[in-house]
Amino acid sequence: MDLYRRLLTGQLSELVGASTVDSDAFHRQMDFKAAAEATWERTEGTETGDVVEAYVDGVNHAREAERTPLEYRLLEAEPRGWTPTASLLVSKQIAWGLTGSFRTLRRALARDRLGSEATATLYPRLLDHETPILREGEVSFAESVADAAVPDPGLVSWLADFETDPGIGSNSWVVSGEHTASGDPIVANDPHLELSVPPVWYEQHVVGAEFDTRGVAFPGVPFVVIGQNHAGAWGFTNAGADAIDFYTYETVDDGDAYRYGDETRQFDTRTETIAVDGGENVDIEVKRSVHGAVLTQYPDGDGFAVADELGVAWTGLSATRTVEAVRELNRSNGLEEAEAAIRKFDEPTQNFVYADDAGNTYFWVTGQIPIRRTDGEPVRGTRIFDGSAREGEWGDGYTPYGESSWEGFVPFEEKPGVRNPDYLATANQRITNDPEHYLSEGYAPPFRGQRIYDRLDARAQSDEPMDAAFHRDLQTDVVDGRYELFRPIIEEAVAAGSAGSDDLDAPTGESLLEWDGEMRPDLAEPLLFDQWLRTFRDLTFIDEFSEAELPVEFAEPNDWVLGTLPADSDYFDGDRAAVAAEALGTVRKRIDDEQWERYGDWNRVRFEHPFDEPFLNYDQHPTAGSAGTVRNFHSEASTGASWRMVATFDGDSRAVLPGGNSGDYFSDHYDDQLTTWANGEYKSMRRTLPESVDLQFTEGDR
């Protein structure tokens, strides 16, 4: 909790030293603290605010009554008192982690270095597939117009550490009682977030006089985000909607002011000092414009070389109602009240699935989505805008660091959604082919979504109902959808030869052609496929990107793009088979050199504590799954299912955390769910009190 607060307020360095000065500078310039303060000003005195204050009182009582956590003793520090604003900062951190993307800047840099045509090919606005969440309509693949500026490559590299992780995603689905064994709906959800110590979620079961809610909350926020109550069950996945824009300015008065239409406006500017434990303090300039935050300098004081003043508009910079929405959702008595609650869910943009005990099912996109306008006409948010020319203006209802009315944003009824779907699945893929308004360009490839729909379709068309066990099995499905796409290319590689010596102690390309695509840790073929695909991707793009002087860490095109490039593409130097065969030979030798025998020798989940103390980490586990499986796992960033839940209405709702519910190293609950999670197993979501406890509810001040 305290690390979240320090991260968002730019106060990590005073605790851990100079290594986090960059992070502190960025978070202070974005001024998340002011956004949280504005949100608390709106929330204080409401029913939600009263609960937050009571929660804060409880946190501070425990802080004073219990022994100082081990981490603080290691740092020879003391935790500060918790505050309502700190709780709302946690909410801002989660929202930024899901919608804070600098994709627009990367595409602008790619257009400058690679050209517009190549960028449209390698980073298309939408992927050409047939598996959106809502499976109807025609899709348009029109591209964006030119950018107002080209971002400095150093800026893009610097910001990469502070944006949404590429592994961040989720699966969810809702199935009506028409297809279940019980006749009641089922909701499944597994959010894919960082696998850390302690887990990002805190499991809780809260019972009151008129409600019974269980599921997971983010530490620091008192309400269940994903879970089930006495009347319904719900889950979220990242909608990928574009809730952020970037602006350049024509500056005057030595950079103290900027042109805005026919006006000249002063930047709201102040200097802040980053305290650095064991080092020299760092002064930075914090600026705001009419759009929101302004990124102006690197931590060492050097300004950005090209886009000198980069304005940032983000929905989370406003006073938002998300915590209020989640509290009302926790207490909702069915679909009507649940929908009323999520209308207030301002950020982040999410795919919301829901079912209630009356048999209703539901899907809707939540979160505020701006309608950008230039000269009064709607435009997509796929380029850097000229802020001085008032391009890409958001509606008048947006007030950064204040309370927004959200007038001029996409109305709730005009967001994609459906009431009482038969069944529906979300896996961060394109939401719909024909949205009424521009939504995004940042969707995941269709591999997970296609696999989920394939299995749901097959089961729905059979005589066998979808019981809870079927949904738990689907959450842990390890068939990699990329294999079907790349199998013809592997055939080309095998036919081309030069795939390494037969004397190598490594699986062969021929064995891949006989494989079923399951990414299981006990098999050798997934190891070869995973390593081959990584190497094939690198061989295809690295030289071109290097020649274009793109940053080393610049994101390569995704696997759907790679797998659908023509065989004679210039990126393969006109011979895809030769590149694929070279990759196969390289990887077979690497596997032999490393003495890897099976996928689990490489694909291991690493649960790391932020203090980087090995004894605080969980044990590493060989694991199934990949970036292309429903059982999602990204080995580079160690992201995966941070909570698996299958919620039913027959009393058998089950879920599991990747670790334990306690952050106390000495607790029995530090990692007691880890093996269950690693084995793809579940436990009951319902908690019961010992018979010796007599629980009564009485009226009080809170």
- Is residue 520 domain-resident? yes
In this predicted model, what pLDDT tens digit does every residue of 551-566 receive, in sequence order?
888 889 999 999 999 9
The answer to whether residue 154 sits within a structural domain is no
Question: Of the given ranges (154-158, 458-462, 493-497), which has the lowest mean pLDDT?
Answer: 154-158
pLDDT tens for 342-371 read 999 999 999 999 999 999 999 999 999 999
pLDDT computed for residue 146 by the predictor: 64
Cα–Cα nearest to 556, from 544, 573, 574, 572: 544
Pairing assessment for the beta strands 644-647 and 385-386 based on DSSP bridges: unpaired
User: Rounded distance, CA 579 to CA 590, Å?
Assistant: 17
Domain count, the chain: 1
User: Could you give the CA distance from residue 12 to residue 3 in angstroms, rounded to a whole number?
Assistant: 7
- Give the Cα separation of 276 and 537 in Å (integer): 41
Rounded distance, CA 352 to CA 543, Å? 42
455 confidence band (pLDDT: 50, 70, 90): very high
**pLDDT, tens digit, 9 for 90 and up, residues 184-227:** 999 999 999 999 999 999 999 999 888 999 999 999 999 999 99
Contacts of 214 (CB under 8 A, 6+ apart): 204, 205, 206, 224, 227, 228, 229, 653, 685, 686, 687
| Residue 563: inside a domain | yes
- pTM given for the model: 0.94
Its domain, for residue 555, covers 481-604
- The answer to whether residue 1 sits within a structural domain is no
Considering only CA atoms, which of 6, 34, 289, 30 is closest in space to residue 163?
30
CATH code, domain with 546: 1.10.1400
Instruction: Tell me what pLDDT residue 158 has.
Output: 84
Q: For 286-336, how does the pLDDT look when each residue is reduced to its tens digit (9 = 90+)?
A: 999 999 999 986 666 566 554 467 999 999 999 999 999 999 999 999 999
Would 80 be classed as within a structural domain? no
Q: What is the pLDDT of residue 502?
A: 67
Residue 578 lies in a domain: yes
Give the pLDDT of residue 125.
84
Alpha-carbon span 624 to 455, nearest angstrom: 19
Residue 325 lies in a domain: no
In a domain? residue 567: yes
Q: Summarize pLDDT for 67-93 with one digit per residue, the tens.
A: 888 988 888 888 899 999 999 999 999
Q: Residues 36, 38, 43, 44: is their CA dihedral positive or negative?
A: positive
pLDDT at 141: 47
* pLDDT tens per residue, range 577-617: 999 999 999 999 999 999 999 999 999 998 999 887 899 99
Q: With a cut of 60, say whether residue 499 has pLDDT above it.
A: no
Sheet holding 232-238, edge to edge: 202-207, 212-217, 226-228, 232-238, 350-356, 361-366, 417-419
Mean pLDDT taken over the chain: 92
